[in-house]
Amino acid sequence: NDIESSQKNLLETLDIINRNLNLNLEIIINLDNQDIHLSLMRKTKNLLLHKGGFSILGGILFNGDNLYASNLFEPINNPEYLSI
């Protein structure tokens, strides 16, 4: 997907979660800046890594409880990366 579609999908998914959990939260996320993406990955409690690029950086910065990786995560078999 292009960036706009990915951002739209993320916001729609967050809205579905918000409604299903009856949280009644106003979710405002500015995804225009890459630093915001990295900050969100650093502060989240759960993170799913998929493919490469920002996922690799997110995995290094992650400070939460549960880190997951899809089978497509590029360094999945790289012991040097996984030991960080």
pLDDT tens readout for residues 10-20: 888 888 887 88
Between 82 and 11, residue with greater pLDDT: 11
Would the pLDDT of 82 be above 90? no
**pLDDT score recorded for residue 40:** 86
**pLDDT score recorded for residue 45:** 93
Q: Which residues of 8-36 are buried (b: 16+ CB within 10 A; e: fewer)?
A: eeeeeeeeeeeeeeeeeeeeeeeeeeeee
Residue 49 in contact with residue 68, Cβ under 8 Å? Answer: yes
Digit-coded pLDDT (tens) for 19-77: 888 877 777 777 778 888 888 899 999 999 988 888 999 999 999 999 998 888 888 77
